[in-house]
Amino acid sequence: MISAKKVRLGFGGRMVLEGVNMHVPAGGRTALLGKNGCGKSVLLKCFAGLLAGYEGEITIGERDAREAAGTGAARPSMAYVFQKGGLFDSMNVFDNVAFGLRRRGVPEGRVGELVTGALDRVGLAGSEMKLPSELSGGMQKRVGLARAICLDPEIILYDDPTAGLDPILSDSIADLILDISKASSATSIVVTHDLRLVRKVARDVALLYDGRIVFQGGTKGFFSKEDAFARQFIDGEIEGPIDIY
């Protein structure tokens, strides 16, 4: 479904991705892990077609990622949950969540139903009229999540969906991601540092290090820690194949 081959991308002469190979099957749920600043968000944006200047090949289904982005089909191919919420400051919560639906020409009555339903699912019913500046960071993230799920996309790319959320809320977001994935057989990639989320949601794990995927395999295998990269990452050890600096 989602496939990257030899993807290379750098900024100002500094390479971030140095030949990423990664595959996520249709209906899959893959956790994308890696140190801060290793390029997870960059890679996710390449999958979403938000960054286009890479070398190599990314395909979404049969299509090139750069073409797959922005298709105006009734069921959008993809939704992206931004690491920082990605909300429009001047729009209230309702309008933020409604944005993609309206752009697709969904009738206003239906927009209302879908927005209300999505806000309810993320625990924000009643916050429709608030502005992003009136929300806590965790609430903003949940609005971003509501905006993605109300589109019923085939693919959802989550950038650190539980960062900054308390453990109870994180757990409910994990349940929600799992629910959505199962109910709509959406394909998901979840960038995260939250190993509880990984255990709960992911079927596969991909570990990005030094511009490459150094581990990709089943979640069970990852947590068995037979792989040296997986072991060091899970235990946060200083010694191992991952250079901590």
Ligand X SMILES: Nc1ncnc2c1ncn2[C@@H]1O[C@H](COP(=O)(O)OP(=O)(O)OP(=O)(O)O)[C@@H](O)[C@H]1O
Sites of contact with Mg ion (CB under 5 A): 41
Tell me the closest approach of the beta carbon of residue 33 to Mg ion, in angstroms: 11
Minimum distance from CB of 81 to ligand X (Å)? 13
- Crossing angle between the packed helical segments 167-184 and 137-149, to the nearest 10 degrees: 0
What are residue 81's DSSP bridge partners? 158
Tell me whether residue 92 or residue 232 sits nearer to ligand X (CB atom).
232
Are 241 and 229 in contact by the 8 Å Cβ rule? The answer is yes
Pick from 221, 217, 223: which is nearest to 195 by CA? 223
Q: Of 40-48, 135-143, 175-183, 235-243, which segment contacts ligand X by CB under 6 A?
A: 40-48
| 88 touching ligand X, by CB under 6 A | no
To Mg ion, the closest distance from the beta carbon of 41 in angstroms equals 3
Residue 205, classed as helix, strand or coil, is strand
Nearest distance from C-beta of residue 126 to Mg ion, angstroms: 30
Cβ distance to ligand X smaller for residue 40 or 147:
40
Q: Is 130 helix (H, G, I), strand (E, B) or coil?
A: coil
Closest C-alpha among 129, 118, 143, 146 to residue 92 = 129
Please say which residue, 11 or 88, places its beta carbon nearer to ligand X: 11
Residues whose CB is less than 8 angstroms from the CB of residue 147 and which lie 6 or more positions away in sequence, other chains included? 79, 81, 87, 96, 97, 99, 100, 118
The site partner of 22 among Mg ion, ligand X, none (C-beta below 5 to 8 Å per kind) is: none
By CB under 6 A, tell whether 36 contacts ligand X: yes
Any contact of residue 38 with ligand X (CB under 6 A)? yes
Dist CA 10 CA 179 (whole Å): 36
Q: State the nearest-atom distance from the C-beta of 52 to Mg ion, in Å.
A: 18
Q: Under the criterion CB under 6 A, does residue 52 sit at the interface with ligand X?
A: no
37 binds ligand X per the rule CB under 6 A: yes
**Contact positions vs ligand X (CB under 6 A):** 11, 16, 34, 36-42, 83
